[in-house]
Amino acid sequence: MRKLAICTLLFLELGLAGIVTAQNQPAAPEASTVSCDFADGKQVTVRYNRIPFNKRERLRENKVWMPGGSALILFTGADLKFAGKNIPTGAYTMYLIPGRKTWNLIVSKNEKPESAYNAQQDLARAPMDLGQLSQPADKLTLYFGQMGPKQCNLRVYYGDTGAFTEFEEQ
């Protein structure tokens, strides 16, 4: 009986130590994926870290932002036109540059989301339309809106900011 009591206390101590350790470690970003289907069945998909919005944390204006320490990942099953540039079928990284009056979205040839941004890898860069959300987003959230048979609009919501840009199938 005594051995059982000692084992139970030891187990509880180790369990509580594990809980305390887990509580002191930052939570891993929540990975999320959004996609848009073109009329011909081809698809464009973005994978990103759905990080929580923090009012006290200011995004660095006009600096590359990698939410959760990782670039957004673009997968396209169709050749795209973005900002007047051709984006061939394949996988790419994307970076956001938040600003006061406009945000920019960069599509990069780089395929490693954890790599630092390198402007020499840019395929295309486009300003994003900005709007203020009536209901603030508590986490970074991306959506695609299909605007036509060959057009998908990427929407980025963070806090009370909404930023929008278009991808067109070629």
Share of the chain above pLDDT 90, in %: 73
CA 18 to chain centre: 30
**Cβ count near 44 (within 10 Å):** 23
- C-alpha torsion angle, residues 9, 13, 15, 21 (rounded to 10): 180
Alpha-carbon span 129 to 131, nearest angstrom: 7
The domain segmentation of the chain, as residue ranges, is 33-169
Residue 38 has a pLDDT of 97
> CB count, 10 Å around CB of 80?
27
Q: Pick the closest to residue 62 from 131, 134, 125, 142 (CA basis).
A: 125
* pLDDT tens track for 87-118: 999 999 999 999 989 999 999 999 888 889 99
pLDDT tens column, 140-155:
999 999 999 999 999 9
**Do 168 and 156 form a contact (C-beta atoms < 8 A)?**
no
121 in Cβ contact with 109 (< 8 Å): yes
pLDDT at residue 170 is higher than 90: yes
Class of residue 78 by CB neighbours under 10 A (exposed 0-12, middle 13-18, buried 19+): buried
Position with higher pLDDT, 104 vs 56: 104
Is the pLDDT confidence value at 9 over 70?
A: no
Please determine, for residue 11, whether its predicted confidence score (pLDDT) is greater than 80: no
Residue 13 has pLDDT above 70, yes or no: no
More confident residue, 29 or 49: 49
Measured distance CA(86)–CA(144) in Å, rounded? 19
C-alpha–C-alpha distance, residues 57 and 154, integer Å = 24
